[in-house]
Homo-oligomer: A and B are copies of this chain.
Amino acid sequence: MKKVVKFGGSSLASAMQFEKVGNIIRADKSRKYVVPSAPGKRNDKDEKVTDLLYQCYDAAEAGKSYKSILEKIKERYMEIISGLSLNMSLDEEFNVIEKNFLEKAGRDYAASRGEYLNSLIMAEYLGFEFIDAAEVIFFDEDGNFEADLTDQVLSERLNKAETAVIPGFYGSKHDGTIKTFSRGGSDVTGSVVAKAIHADMYENWTDVSGVLVADPRIIKDPEVIETITYRELRELAYMGASVLHEDAIFPVRKEGIPINIRNTNKPEDKGTLIVESTCRQPRYTITGIAGKKGFCSINIEKAMMNAEVGFGRKVLEVFEKYGISFEHMPSGIDTMTVFVHQSEFVEFEQSVIAGIHRAVEPDFVEMESDLALVAVVGRGMKATRGTAGRIFSALAHSRVNVKMIDQGSSELNIIIGVRNSDFEEAIKAIYDIFITTEV
């Protein structure tokens, strides 16, 4: 049994947090491979070490004084080291970092030091081997992650290590330059490590007890999802639920390795299990609700449109010309509505409308802005008749005007368009009818 355990920044923000992490790792012998993030915030007013590193680099680059920021970073680590009563010094490391800063090793190098240093401390604290991510995780010259090469090298290297700490977030190009994943990329490192050693589980430790059914900024203390499929998670994430880095799914999904989202501050909670598929009946009919504001709809009407082969294609071509991806395209009879991101669309609005007129000669084109999309996601919906009825009755009861409904034959989700101003109310209504009522 081998588990990869990744800890987020808030789980490693202080010596006290390190101790919690240590207890978690020691409580289960199968937790052999540890992927730390850089120290996060200790409280609301605190700064993340990664942010400090970027500040420090930018100051050095601009020829400004960076010493005080570097000192602040060093203090963060010293506090952890002394808090854990470790017998180690990072002086030499900081000398190298400062030297590299001045030699312009790059912004990614700077940013990566947060994970690098935290992993050195973690390895010392746990008595695990330290493996620098720069030696086992690779990017090509254009900065694209090289999955196959990484898997091969990482796999060979980890097979020689009984236990190890591998810093998250970064790797290296072939010339040795440090390159990072996008922000939150330690999730990806954990996933890549899990794939390489064929882990039985990838535990992703954070400061929440799992994936929530709905956004806690809208629903007070929402329920935690017990089990979610990759597919469902992707849908919720796409619609705005922030859980894992998007690219963290693919490596483990390919290998069928489940991900367990856990809470470092509440290790007794079982968290959320993310799986490829499961026979387990979901606890509620729906798995989760997510949504985003800021869409607009372009409603195109033309008599006898349905008889015109190529109509839809021509309309989409206009959007494509301006690099605008459409989110949904519900169609009635002689009408077709295209939902797009308002921010992407607004610049090209008039060009797109003119283009549509030229392309398909519509009877008229109407736009509506400030719309939101809400996705109700759940594998349980397929087995349960009446889900749509409950959703729309609940929305009507909450006086939410439904502007759009889109449900394909996958039956895994229903997408609902509402006004931005009805967004929170819509999510509350759906949450209440499926979760509060079913509890």
Q: Which residues of A does B touch, CB under 8 Å?
A: 231, 234-235, 238-239, 250, 297, 299, 301, 303, 306-313, 316-317, 320, 323-337, 368, 375, 385-397, 399-415, 417
Contacts and interface: CB of A to CB of B under 8 A. Distances in A.
B402 A368 contact: no
Nearest to A406: B330
Contact of A409 (B337, B390, B394): B337
Given A312-B329, A330-B408, 5 more contacts: A335-B410, A388-B388, A389-B390, A389-B391, A389-B393
A50 to B, nearest CB: 25
Given A368-B409, A403-B411, A406-B405, A331 B332 contact: no
B324 A320 contact: no
Contacts of A235: 332-334
B393 A386 contact: yes
A414 B407 CA distance: 11
Nearest to A337: B408
Contacts of A336: 408
Nearest to A329: B329
B386 A397 contact: yes
Nearest to A407: B405
A234 B303 contact: yes
Nearest to A375: B333
10 contacts: A299-B410, A306-B325, A330-B408, A332-B408, A335-B408, A386-B396, A386-B397, A388-B388, A393-B393, A405-B414
A417 B406 contact: no
Contact of A332 (B303, B324, B413): B413
A259 to B, nearest CB: 16
B393 A404 contact: no
- For the complex of A and B, the 9 pairs showing the least CB-CB separation, nearest first, are A386-B396, A389-B393, A389-B392, A388-B392, A337-B408, A313-B316, A405-B407, A330-B408, A385-B396
A266 B235 CA distance: 57
A331 B391 CA distance: 18
Contact of A316 (B250, B316, B328, B368): B316
Contacts of A334: 231, 234-235, 238
A409 B403 contact: yes
A410 B308 CA distance: 20
Contact of A408 (B239, B331, B375): B331
Interface centre among A250, A402, A408 (most CB of B within 10 A): A408
A251 B333 CA distance: 20
A47 B7 CA distance: 83
A388 B405 contact: yes
A12 to B, nearest CB: 30
A329 B331 CA distance: 7
B317 A409 contact: no
B410 A407 contact: no
A414 to B, nearest CB: 7
A419 to B, nearest CB: 11
Contacts of A375: 332-333
Contact of A393 (B301, B309, B390): B390
Contacts of A313: 313, 316-317, 320
A255 to B, nearest CB: 15
Contacts of A405: 388, 405-407, 414
Given A385-B399, A409-B337, A306 B332 contact: no
A418 to B, nearest CB: 11
A333 B409 contact: no
A312 B326 contact: yes
A299 B408 contact: yes
Contacts of A327: 306, 331
A397 B401 CA distance: 24
A266 to B, nearest CB: 30
Contact of A333 (B234, B306, B368): B234
A325 B303 contact: no
B320 A409 contact: no
Contacts of A409: 297, 299, 330, 337, 368, 403-404, 417
A401 B330 CA distance: 20
